[in-house]
Amino acid sequence: MDVLSEVLRAVRLTGAVFFDVEARSPWAAATPDVATIKRMVMPDSEHVMVFHVLTHGSVWCELRDGSTPPLRLNAGDLVVLPMGDPHMVSSVPGMRAEPNLANYYRPSDRALPLPFVLNEGGGPERCHFVCGYLGCDAQPFNPLLEGLPRIFHASVSTATRGWLMSLIRVAVEETMHAGSGGETMLAKLAELMFVEVVRKYVDGLPKESRGWLSGLRDHHIGVALRLIHGRPAEAWTLDALARSCGMSRSAFADRFTYVVGIPPMQYLVRWRLQLAARFLESGAVGISIAAARVGYGSEAAFNRAFKRFVGVPPGAWRKSRAAGMAALL
């Protein structure tokens, strides 16, 4: 079981490349808080992350509030802001600009991305990057979001960089010349690059780091996560999971809670509810069938668990999601 891939499927990761930017130093571009532009850029997604991919030159990226050190990006680097925080991308660190909210829209007469040239008559230092968004579900449970920092970046691997950067260039050119499929191609490339940098981020985590991503590579906890995600409807007990990991009940419970941040049986419940929510949203099955598919023998027990962790009963959840989608049409 590839737990990361399973989570990305369940939380419905989708990508969109919005801007194709050519810039000459000195320059600065501001990205607003994603909450202010979400409805314009990815209205169908519950949660929206921001990303930038540098294909040529070098840039700096930093949170607007200056709470973290600026990150230097080189060609082949991708930076992700999982919480959609307002931030700056610039030729040198510390520069500031104001975002233009009028730039954030989906054109009806052409495909994305939107081309921009910054400081066209500027100096000889030139860079090129594409910017976009990654949408996903946040509720009932998205363990990936809870395990990511406010901003992180990584380089696309050397083996991948050549063909990936070439595909980005081809897709952008196809889109600019009204070629078919370029926008979809870029969206899928964004998803692929996100997975790549998350994998590299996990590989670079300190040995004793904590969080869901650290749990994926933990010798014992990784086994438990693969079992839970591989067979979520199974009648797991704390004892059964501990034995499968080769640990005592108490040692396993303590280790899982320490690394992942929540107790193992609570994690199991929350993941089951995430899967059940997807069944409910589809409208293909009723509440009792959704409950049974994720391991609940009693609809009443499922209703109690859903309300406890989500805040509303499953029927109300389904109605609110349907109403939200109808409002977007």
Percent of the chain with pLDDT over 70: 96
Average pLDDT over residues 282-293: 89
The model's pLDDT over 182-212, given as tens digits with 9 standing for 90+, comes to 788 888 888 988 998 898 899 889 988 999 9
The model's pLDDT over 37-58, given as tens digits with 9 standing for 90+, comes to 999 999 999 999 999 999 899 9
Nearest-CA neighbor of 283 among 249, 237, 238, 314?
314
pLDDT for res 110? 81
Nearest-CA neighbor of 45 among 93, 82, 11, 79?
11
Residues contacting 36, CB < 8 A, separation 6+: 101
pLDDT for res 324? 66
pLDDT for res 162? 73
Nearest-CA neighbor of 32 among 50, 46, 14?
50
Structural domains of the chain, with CATH: 3-203 (2.60.120.10), 213-328 (1.10.10.60)
Nearest-CA neighbor of 171 among 156, 186, 160, 161?
186
pLDDT for res 122? 84
Q: Are 20 and 115 in contact (CB under 8 A)?
A: yes
Residues contacting 49, CB < 8 A, separation 6+: 34, 80, 81, 82, 83, 84, 133, 134, 135, 136
Using DSSP's 3-state secondary structure scheme, residue 62 falls into strand
Average pLDDT over residues 154-170: 74
Alpha carbon distance 115, 120 (integer Å) = 13
Mean pLDDT is lowest, of 90-99, 106-115, 299-308, for 106-115
DSSP one-letter code for 111 = P
Please name the helix (run of DSSP H) or strand (run of DSSP E) that holds residue 100, with its range, or none.
Answer: none
The model's pLDDT over 61-83, given as tens digits with 9 standing for 90+, comes to 999 999 999 999 999 899 999 99
pLDDT for res 176? 66
